[in-house]
Structure 1
Amino acid sequence: MAPPRERTVKNRNLPANLYPNGKYWQYKNPITGKKISINKPMAEAIKLANAANAKLLPLLADDGSLLAMLTGDAAPKFSACLDRFESEWLPTRSYAASTLKEIKFKLARYREDLGDLMMGQLDVLTIAEYLDGFENNAYTKHRGLLVQVFAFAVAKGLCERNSAELTLVKKEAEKKRQRHTVEGLNKILGYVGTPVWLKRAIRLGLLSLQRREDIVVWSKSAVDLDQNTIKVSPGKTQNYEKPVHLEIVMGQALREVVMECMKSPVVCPYLVHYSPKARKRSQLDAKLHWNSVTADYLTKSFAQARDDSQAYADIPTGERPTFHEIRALGAWLYEQQGFDQEYIQGLMGHADVKMTEHYQAGHGEEAVVYMKVKADLKV
């Protein structure tokens, strides 16, 4: 920050940061350096400058310790706001574990990038310039979270306005991700470099129509071989007013891959697992079990096998289908084999929430009711 302008005989008796500007006055914000014209008589200009100084000058105290010593209150920093947002606001939301992890990762980044700034320094310009460092959908997602953070800050009296909400709203770019084909997925499954555990995960996704996040945490205890069923509570639906719980009657193909997972010699309570070559502490902390697979690792491993197998070499890298699109291919294959939409929707956890509510009507709030569906795709 540039040093204050040197006082002259003319402005020696003026409050700090107030200077003559022709026949009127000019106030220089001591934090942002922004100059603001005050076209008022001298007495009013002095009154405004004193009021502004009373509000802004405490924010300049070194690390807030002097201010705290004088008033008992430290200058509010953004890091403290983020801490309160994470401890007070986040627990009130019913976010899925993966979403919560992503939010906390973003908050950690904000602490690193902006945490040392005082709340009074986080004006619209500062937030806008920070957001401009992100491209496409990342801009939209970061802006959305910052709007929530500042809304919390305003409600708690940490700042007076939501600076993030006043930044430019951008429309998310449309996803160009293309669909899987039977030929493409078979090429990945047949590729010698595709790990065995990943082939099982692909088949589980294709046959059961479950999401990546649910496949990696699918417990062996959910399998009942005597009844030929496997249970799952889709994580995304747990935010519904009435969550979805499925009991899937396994067709031959699904039973085969489930049996392969159950008979694997690798020790793990989850169907999808592998034995890593190295176990770093940071990796272990992110996993449910030392041999389990995280959703992110599944995504990256699939992308690696997809590209190494040359399954979609003719498609630009950014448009090649991911593991997520396997679910769509599976739904399409069920349709091609003559299964009706109600059957497919049921297996996918009911895209229509009203159908879910119909099945669960009349049960107590704490009751867990499994809807029986079938997964009998022929492959």
Structure 2
Amino acid sequence: MPTNPAELKKMRRISTKQRNRLKKEWYDAIHEAAPLWLQTAMELSLQTTHARLEISRIKYKIKKPNSKACGCVWFQVLEETPQGKVYGILYIHRQKTEKKEAAHVAIPIGDEIKNIIDRSRDNLLSDYVVHRLPAKSKRKISKEVNHVTQLTPDYISRTFSKIRDELGCCDHLEKDQRPTFHEIRALSAHLFDTQGVDPQSRMAHTDAKSTKIYTKNHIEWVEVPFAEIK
């Protein structure tokens, strides 16, 4: 053939992201107006750098790390480290990068994460740290969740955006430019970076500068250094 037909294909134009970064003052305003379950989700996202899907899956307790669950393994005796007390390990399986070894992240549970988890507990029986009992008319379990008290990632995002718009803190921006719940991840990375902590391994990025990879239950986990955002 004299020509390559593939070269005649018109490439689809890919638009760049339009969303603005979430400012700390916007985060604080939305957090103050949010219900407890959303405050918990926002705080966990800020401390772990992880997004709505991983946050919605975090369980109060899991027996052992595995590739299909996010949750806490608590130490029988807390560990004293130069950086602070460590009560256990929060294991997060980041689905977006599941084919890469950095998809499995082990985050030490210090005072900040423990306080978030403790504060989230209420009189509602649930395995999930971020939980809420929907109205009786809406208690049909979504395919995305395993229990009626577990929240879908989409519901977390929509509620965050609803409160953001009700407060009007981003009214000067077009709808598609306003920061969503996902932008907490970038804010978290920025705050860790300003503290001199490399956020890459925590975010399950494979280009991390400093990571410690170890095998537990036949799964490779990236153990990140102890760090907290005060």
- Tell me the TM-score normalised to structure 1 length: 0.49
Instruction: Answer yes or no: is 1:252 the counterpart of 2:111.
Output: yes
Letter in 2 for 1:247: A
Instruction: Answer yes or no: is 1:189 the counterpart of 2:31.
Output: yes
Cα deviation, residue 279, structure 1: 4.5
Letter in 1 for 2:107: I
In the aligned structure 2, how far is the partner of 1:267 from the partner of 1:279?
Answer: 19
Instruction: Answer yes or no: is 1:235 the counterpart of 2:95.
Output: yes
The 3-state SS of whatever aligns with 1:239 is: coil
Cα deviation, residue 370, structure 1: 2.9
Deviation track 1:308-359 (CA, whole Å, cap 9, x = no partner) reads 12222222221000011100000101111222x2xx1121113427977x83
| Equivalent pair of 1:216/1:292 in contact (CA under 8 Å) | yes
What is residue 199 of structure 1 aligned with on the other side? 39
In the aligned structure 2, how far is the partner of 1:170 from the partner of 1:187?
Answer: 39
Instruction: Indicate the RMSD between aligned Cα atoms, in angstroms.
Output: 2.6
Instruction: Answer yes or no: is 1:346 the counterpart of 2:201.
Output: yes
Cα deviation, residue 259, structure 1: 1.7
| Equivalent pair of 1:216/1:270 in contact (CA under 8 Å) | yes
Deviation track 1:180-203 (CA, whole Å, cap 9, x = no partner) reads 111110010112xx2210011001
Letter in 2 for 1:359: I
Instruction: Answer yes or no: is 1:212 the counterpart of 2:55.
Output: no
Instruction: Answer yes or no: is 1:372 the counterpart of 2:230.
Output: no
- Cα 1:376–1:296 change in 2 (3 A) is same
- Cα 1:353–1:335 change in 2 (3 A) is closer
- Cα 1:307–1:374 change in 2 (3 A) is farther
The structure that is helix-richer by fraction is 1
What is residue 160 of structure 2 aligned with on the other side? 302
In the aligned structure 2, how far is the partner of 1:265 from the partner of 1:246?
Answer: 30
What is residue 163 of structure 1 aligned with on the other side? none
Letter in 1 for 2:11: V
What is residue 98 of structure 1 aligned with on the other side? none
Could you list the runs of 5+ residues in structure 2 that have no partner in the other structure?
A: 1-7, 62-70, 79-86
Cα deviation, residue 231, structure 1: 1.5
| Equivalent pair of 1:212/1:324 in contact (CA under 8 Å) | yes
Deviation track 1:214-252 (CA, whole Å, cap 9, x = no partner) reads 111112222234341221122222122x36322211232
- Cα 1:254–1:290 change in 2 (3 A) is same
In the aligned structure 1, how far is the partner of 2:224 from the partner of 2:31?
Answer: 26
The 3-state SS of whatever aligns with 1:185 is: helix
Letter in 2 for 1:376: A
Letter in 1 for 2:28: N
| Equivalent pair of 1:299/1:323 in contact (CA under 8 Å) | yes
What is residue 172 of structure 2 aligned with on the other side? 314
How many pairs align? 203
Deviation track 1:125-168 (CA, whole Å, cap 9, x = no partner) reads xxxxxxxxxxxxxxxxxxxxxxxxxxxxxxxxxxxxxxxxx975
What is residue 273 of structure 1 aligned with on the other side? 131
| Equivalent pair of 1:178/1:319 in contact (CA under 8 Å) | yes
The structure that is strand-richer by fraction is 2
Question: How high is the sequence identity, in percent, across the aligned residues?
Answer: 26
Instruction: Answer yes or no: is 1:223 the counterpart of 2:63.
Output: no
Q: Indicate the structure whose relative CO is greater, using CA pairs within 8 Å and at least 6 residues apart.
A: 2
Deviation track 1:51-95 (CA, whole Å, cap 9, x = no partner) reads xxxxxxxxxxxxxxxxxxxxxxxxxxxxxxxxxxxxxxxxxxxxx
Letter in 1 for 2:72: V
Letter in 2 for 1:208: T
Cα deviation, residue 367, structure 1: 1.2
Cα deviation, residue 285, structure 1: 4.0
In the aligned structure 1, how far is the partner of 2:193 from the partner of 2:144?
Answer: 37
Greater gyration radius: 1
